[in-house]
Structure 1
């Protein structure tokens, strides 16, 4: 809204008035709740206030005919502001007027309503989350056959890698209709010739790296531990660029890509990884990094752009697309694995909704209308 006033009553003995507006929502019990105050415009009887925004629900609670009261005050330094006048209106009246709506001495110069869509609006409209997994198979994780390894497959408990994968995967798979997830490993020597790979399909199928559901990813992960040799170094960029190539093909908001990287420490291609994140930041894609083990995770924390946006070659990421969480912060000392994994899942996925929304806003993509609900009754079976 943009409002002005003309020839307000002069309340100050010396000089002119310092007017401001106070907006109130009417309540069911006939009381009023303050919803917004404008700035004070000094020394004038003809103020023009700065444009401002108020959430529709804050004023109207869904009732477009609900009374909105606006008081006009003359500001005083001692806090005993002088009441100048008041007027009442409603959202419906304002929206019909659009502009040049005058009540007493106050004129509405312009009025517009912007819709702010939610993550759920896009999901209901058909936006699919495409979930890709990348797991660290470097030798620094330790021999998977030994209990000190981060990949150790205990008969009694999942490894840190498997728990992190299961925690986020079981939630995010509900937003993916086909539940087919590309899953890769990096930093291993592959049989039979011992070629080092930084992006190999866990299911050993180069043509189709998809695994059926999170259980299929886990099964392929466990199988890979028996067939590949843990080696190194730790490269993130190849798998980021792999997912980015798929995300670059989507421009209509129908799909959003989420890459989960689980690794144990130092990133060997930090420069290339930063470059990949910066170039990917304009695409419909987010990256979740889970650090496992006791190592320091300075490099992974640097990629999480909460405090400072990731940059490469003088260019900054268009938006923050990386969320980093250290797995050790979620190991419950009392052994309550269910609660620990629930907290891990919450923090892993915490930034995905806003990252998706920022991508859609940047591209000016609105959610599609939800498909109509079919309320037709199920036909009765034919009688024999």
Structure 2
């Protein structure tokens, strides 16, 4: 058994990130053949933009929290525009790099304000060609938990011409739209509405699941590189009293070890069990945070714990409330970054990648930190 000193040293080594400060540099433009994954930081909710090797753009969520008050981080860059507008402006800068004029696919993980409330504002500022949504077309379950945001989104989506229901198990629904890639590119739809690829139906409407439990999960592969995200999917399952409500753990097991993973549900206590963390064994974790409860101490303990899986790992947060810094300072000091957009850039051969953090205080895309080139793990 490790002594306490050996454990603490091991934890420090596991989280050590040889990051380079580069505050005067700007993020270099995307180039054809490269994969970019932008975790957009408005401090108001989730929004992730994927720029595929052929220039295909996939936006996962566009959140704008309905909460306010001292527990919520200040909006970035500022409050002069809505979160949806800031997201659209960020996307348009990336479209300038690709020569595109629209988002090819909007992928909606679930109907909570911090994931959908910015979509109508974003769509007014940048066209969206296709929407993929696990609740479409009937939205019969789960029941709306924030009626105003959900009804606003559903009203918007019913006016769209090209909407599809998320197909669990498919590896072709989310696809390259503008050309082929010399390196294999695949998005596998792992989970949604209680069904998990390879594990079948976990629950249905009779179980009265909440909205988070119905989130989608996916694994992206590009060459050797792998990436996992799962919206607000949780493995809380009523404190373990109803284990069949856990769709997150089987989704993580279906994904297997990945290079980069987004900590589900903003790194809250209910979504990063030891089994899930061990199953993914990510080299880098990204936490989308906008509230004083993001991330929880228990989640940070697990992400940094070298007993769960071997090897180094870096943890990035898109923001961090002062309350979290105070209560979890021993752990937050180990974060690779705690503020800004987090961009994963995968080389055109799919064999290596780098992670950049850019400032969210303005629109200049100034690079604050960058990682060295990291070797992608071989896909299963």
Q: Same fold (TM over 0.5)?
A: no
Rg larger in structure: 1
TM-score tier (shorter): 0.3 to 0.5
TM-score (norm 1): 0.32
* Higher RCO (Cα < 8 Å, 6 or more apart): 2
More strand by share: 1
